[in-house]
């Protein structure tokens, strides 16, 4: 397959590539390249994640626009937005730019100190700073999703409880301040996965005792494992099992580990992706095992 010149970096404007003689219109229309947005294409060998689409958006964004919200969070170790989810672009309030289908435009002011530019051999992106991204996420996403994103950003060290608290106090009285306070009160940087955060938030919002993320379980001096969520006083564990847990070798290792935990007097709830579609049922199971009404 003929590819555009290397200088295009794998993501390119179709009209420019045709003008440069790198591709023909027929090749673009044939599906040889991945279409990200109108007139924006990518080498099909590139990983088709949200960051790919966000990088494509950079080619059509006005110069005073930046990536924001969950799209910016993908650069701050919170890559939870899917490839089919709209790329969030922040533009000044007076901007008339609407963007193509697949881009969601948020009109609001962003100060120079709230912009981060990444410009290297691999990519050129402009995005909101970690704290500004935290504000955008907390005030625009659902509370569980916002907490999961900020858990990841906190775990990676891009923000911390002190900086989030300072931002909340600085913007007290502003639109979204109450929601920001609600979200940040639930953030726990010990969480290491989106499912773990979602289950924890569901439990807390349902009035259950707050579980301990990434709890180290010991039997005397013997290490039994580090578990996703635990209620140590009730000796109850919740573990989320992603796709890799269903590989044959991993299944055997998990079964042995859970057997050791049960033998030591712990009860274990094992969750899969299907369980996340009904978190009310998950909370009910946990509530019952905690002996709560």
pLDDT at 31 > cutoff 90: no
**pLDDT interval class at 252 (50, 70, 90):** low
pLDDT digits (tens, 9 = 90+) for 135-185: 999 999 999 999 999 999 999 999 999 999 999 999 999 999 999 999 999
> CA 161: distance to chain centroid?
18
Q: Are 290 and 284 a contacting pair, CB within 8 Å?
A: no
The H-assigned helical ranges of 20-160 are 25-29, 50-58, 69-73, 130-140, 143-155
Secondary structure (DSSP) of 212-273 = EEEEEEEETTEEEEEEEEEEGGGTEEEEE--GGGGSHHHHHHHHHHHHHHHHTT-EEEEE-G
Contacts of 202 (CB under 8 A, 6+ apart): 144, 279, 280, 282, 283
Helix (H, G, I), strand (E, B) or coil at 91: strand
pLDDT digits (tens, 9 = 90+) for 194-239: 999 999 999 999 999 999 999 999 999 999 999 999 999 999 999 9
Q: What is the mean pLDDT of residues 256-267?
A: 93
**pLDDT interval class at 251 (50, 70, 90):** low
pLDDT at 248: 54
Q: What is the mean pLDDT of residues 65-88?
A: 96
Among left, alpha and beta (phi > 0; psi -120 to 50; other), residue 206 is: alpha
Domains and CATH numbers, the chain: 6-46 (no CATH), 61-185 (no CATH), 194-290 (3.40.960.10)
pLDDT digits (tens, 9 = 90+) for 88-136: 999 999 999 999 999 999 999 999 999 999 987 678 899 999 999 999 9
CB atoms closer than 10 angstroms to residue 83: 15
User: What average pLDDT is seen over the chain?
Assistant: 92
């Amino acid at each position: 397959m003929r590819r555009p010149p290397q200088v295009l970096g794998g993501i390119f404007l179709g009209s420019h590539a045709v003008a440069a003689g790198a591709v023909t219109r027929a090749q673009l229309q044939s599906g040889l390249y991945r279409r990200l947005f109108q007139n924006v294409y990518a080498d099909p060998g590139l990983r088709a994640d949200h960051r790919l689409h966000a990088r494509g958006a950079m080619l059509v964004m006005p110069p005073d626009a930046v990536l924001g919200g969950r799209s910016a969070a993908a650069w701050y170790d919170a890559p939870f937005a899917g490839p089919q989810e709209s790329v969030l672009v922040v533009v000044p309030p007076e901007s008339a730019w609407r963007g193509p289908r697949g881009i969601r435009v948020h009109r609001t002011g962003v100060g120079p100190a709230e912009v981060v530019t990444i410009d290297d051999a691999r990519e050129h992106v402009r995005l909101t700073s970690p704290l500004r991204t935290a504000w955008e996420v907390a005030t625009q996403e659902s509370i569980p999703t916002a907490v999961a994103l900020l858990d990841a950003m906190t775990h990676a060290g891009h923000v911390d409880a002190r900086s989030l608290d300072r931002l909340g106090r600085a913007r007290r009285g502003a639109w979204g301040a109450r929601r920001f306070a609600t979200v940040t009160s639930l953030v726990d940087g010990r969480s290491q996965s989106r499912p773990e955060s979602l289950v924890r938030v569901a439990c807390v919002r349902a009035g259950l005792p707050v579980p301990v993320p990434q709890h180290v379980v010991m039997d005397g001096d013997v290490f039994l494992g580090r578990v996703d969520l635990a209620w140590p006083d009730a000796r109850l564990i919740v573990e989320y099992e992603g796709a890799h847990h269903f590989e044959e070798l991993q299944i055997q290792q998990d079964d042995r580990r859970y057997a050791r935990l049960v033998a030591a007097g712990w009860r274990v709830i094992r969750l899969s992706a299907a369980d996340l579609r009904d978190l009310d049922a998950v909370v009910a199971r946990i509530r019952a095992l905690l002996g709560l009404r």
